[in-house]
Structure 1
Amino acid sequence: MNQRFKYTLLLSSLPVQPAELFTSKLPVISRIQLDKRLAILDAEDTADLDRIEGLLHWSKMHEWDDATIINRGQSELNLIRSSFLRDIVSWRLELRTLLTALRRRHAGENITPSDIFYGFGDHLQFIRRNWQKPDFGLGNTLPWLKQANQLITENKPQTLDKLMLELNWKHYARLSLGHYFDFPAVALYVLRWDLINRWVSYDKDRALLRFNELISAGMADVSLEFEGKP
């Protein structure tokens, strides 16, 4: 079967996801049913989707130190064949790096420009040079940083969680334009499904517990949306 036809068939068979994340009460399809539909993917695309989800399920890396996480993560990232999808994952990992920096500073850690700070993305130098600034000097390009820092300072994990979820949801919505019946469209559907599932499984007490864990944990336990099974 022609790949383009297969993926058109696949995406046409999937229920339409809501326009707004926080209106969701349940995922429009179960993960079991979604995985059954994804079985139609070519082997190479299946491998790439597994890499994407593996990189974004940060809690699976808890037994590694920061340097190993970055090295292994970068190696896996480089194996993703699509530059479009690599950029999506890189964007998520960069946000996670920034959230890690906010948490570590809140916990009292001090970093100088000459210190090593492990992470993903192009902002590591800004983080080291502007450690004491609430937004690491990146507020003009990343306005969410100040708000996230304030929420961490005020111990508001639920609001921070929603901020991160919404940030991701809107980013995926922008990227989905122009991708309707190809593999990137499939990957974006799966990533949006994951956000919906996290939101509908959300538990305020679990979020507070996770927030407290983040304050004392290493980088491996930091996630963009307090990732981990509900």
Structure 2
Amino acid sequence: MSDPDAYIALISSLPGSERLFVAKQPPLSRLRLDRRLTALTPEDARVLKVLEQALNWSAYDMDITDAQAVQRCNQALAKIPQPTLRSLFLERMDLRTVVAALRLRARGGNPPSGTYGIGRWSGHIPANWGDPDFRLSVPMPWIKDARQLLEAEDPLGLERLLLSVSHKQLKRYAARHLFDFEAVAIYVLIWNIFDRWAQSNAQDAATRFEKLAQQAMANVAEFDFERVSA
């Protein structure tokens, strides 16, 4: 069991920053962050490692098959007991599925049969393939901008948009947690977004997005969203 006082001291020691896309680097180095994270209990440290690896921005970019993507998702969820962290993980999977679908369609791909990708929209997307935004513009208001950036072949702009959307999602969850493990985990995920943007450039973004477009996570039918989110 975690020591509440230790977690209060840990969170209080972490510098804040709202200057995403403006600051040239995260508010502290990964080395210094890891030193602070030694205050976590062994179990919480294991959960954080699973969450970071599953949501790593490059983990799904290079040469991963559909089955491997689903397996990673299932394995991660089985090791994350906190409802908040499970919810934010699944929300990120929703984002990845929608963007993969936009990429596939932009490349002239046919409507997938059955379900597509990972998450709650896996059945909705194929059924609304002909709509410019898959009829998701209300729950995902950023989708129009993402589609336009894809059409404009602006991978760095798209990466910036997706990092911004993910940052807003995490800040929404952060508002519900102040001095607990969830607050620490969300801080680390936000740090990863800052670090990702600090390392981004147009050529790397184009390479990552081309690789992801080639595999696109299509036709992943064996993922049971209702089961894993229960």
Q: Does 1:159 align with 2:157?
A: yes
Corresponding residue for residue 138 of structure 1? 136
AA aligned opposite 1:92: R
- Describe the SS at the equivalent of 2:25: coil
Q: Does 1:213 align with 2:218?
A: no
For residues 57 and 65 of structure 2, what CA distance do their matches in structure 1 show? Answer: 12
AA aligned opposite 1:5: D
Tell me the percent identity: 38
AA aligned opposite 2:110: N
- Does the 8 Å contact 1:107/1:216 carry over to 2? no
Runs of 4+ in 1 over 4 A off after TM superposition: 61-64
Q: 210-219 vs 182-191, which deviates more?
A: 210-219
Q: Structure 1 218/200 Cα, relative in aligned 2: closer, same or farther at 3 Å? A: same
Q: Does 1:56 align with 2:58?
A: no
Q: Does 1:190 align with 2:188?
A: yes
5 Å matches for 1:14-93? 14-16=14-16, 18-57=17-56, 59-60=58-59, 62=62, 64-93=64-93
- Describe the SS at the equivalent of 2:208: helix
- Does the 8 Å contact 1:66/1:118 carry over to 2? no
Q: Following TM superposition, by how much is the alpha carbon of 1:118 offset from its aligned partner in structure 2, in angstroms?
A: 4.2
Question: TM-score scaled to structure 1, two decimals?
Answer: 0.86
Q: Following TM superposition, by how much is the alpha carbon of 1:188 offset from its aligned partner in structure 2, in angstroms?
A: 0.9
AA aligned opposite 1:104: L
For residues 187 and 49 of structure 1, what CA distance do their matches in structure 2 show? Answer: 6
AA aligned opposite 1:42: T
For residues 169 and 2 of structure 1, what CA distance do their matches in structure 2 show? Answer: 27
Q: Following TM superposition, by how much is the alpha carbon of 1:63 offset from its aligned partner in structure 2, in angstroms?
A: 5.3
Question: TM-score scaled to structure 2, two decimals?
Answer: 0.86
Ranges in structure 1 where 5+ consecutive residues have no aligned partner = 221-230
